[in-house]
Amino acid sequence: MLSIIQAAGWPIWPLIFASFLALALVIERLFSLRTSRIAPPKLLSEALKVSRQAVPGRAVVDQLAQNSELGEVLASGLLALGANPRCSEEDLRATMEASGREVAHRMERYLSALATIASAAPLLGLLGTVIGMIEIFGSQTPAGAGANPAQLAHGISVALYNTAFGLMVAIPSLIFWRYFRATVDAHLLTLELSADQFARHLQTLRVAA
């Protein structure tokens, strides 16, 4: 591996940094966007159960908010209704939507950075290719004395290795960015549908109050 880095020259270092950064972002997002952390399957039914008759106590609501991102959205509705049992349906939904926007922002964290790496890596590889080509042309000695073989070989190595490594970084980054984008969209749909169902449930509590 060290011999490849040496053959690729200094333009490879930005790509190596980008590859480690992309790997760190992918690992972080894989951990953070798990369904168990965003929207546990049974959480909505449990929230409906504990609030069937009335708004539960603050300890239960805080526990719900700390459970997951969906729990935070549902808890915001319970807090709003607990603070004002006669709050309007518009205010209740607005509170839950605001909480949902905060959750959506957290789920989309670092995705733009990963997309930037996917876009920039081929350009960094192209930069290395151009530098390699410059070295190739620089290996041509004047007065028709021929090319410097060592410099010519190094220029070719720089051009090819940087092109290949740029694509090796960009392709997985693009694949994971699209995967995470689809995952976030699916989670947002789940949160929206669950929040809408829970908001209708909270309206029955408000009327009853």
At 54 the pLDDT is 84
Domain boundaries, the chain: 2-208
What pLDDT does 44 receive? 93
C-alpha span between 117 and 127 (Å, rounded): 15
Any long-range contacts for 40-46 (C-beta under 8 Å, 24+ apart)? 40/67, 40/68, 40/70, 40/71, 43/67, 43/68, 43/70, 43/71, 43/74, 44/70, 44/74, 44/194, 44/197, 44/198
- What pLDDT score was predicted for residue 10? 76
The four Cα atoms 170, 175, 178, 182 give a dihedral, to 10 degrees, of -160
Name the token pair of 59: 């300890």
Distance CA 178, CA 126 (A): 23
76's CB contacts (< 8 A; 6+ apart) are 65, 95, 96, 98, 99
Predicted confidence at residue 68, as pLDDT, reads 93
The predicted pLDDT at position 207 comes to 61
SS3 for 152-182, per residue?
HHHHHHHHHHHHHHHHHHHHHHHHHHHHHHH
Confidence at residue 60, expressed as pLDDT on a 0 to 100 scale: 92
Cα(99)–Cα(32) distance, rounded to whole angstroms?
18
CA distances from 100 to 37, 62, 94, 207 (A): 15, 17, 10, 24
Residues in the chain where the model's pLDDT stays below 50: none
Q: What are phi and psi of 10, to 5 degrees?
A: -65, -25
Phi first, then psi: give them for residue 109, nearest 5 degrees.
-60, 135
pLDDT (tens digit per residue) in 42-83: 999 999 998 888 888 889 999 999 999 999 999 999 998 888
Amino acid at 180: F
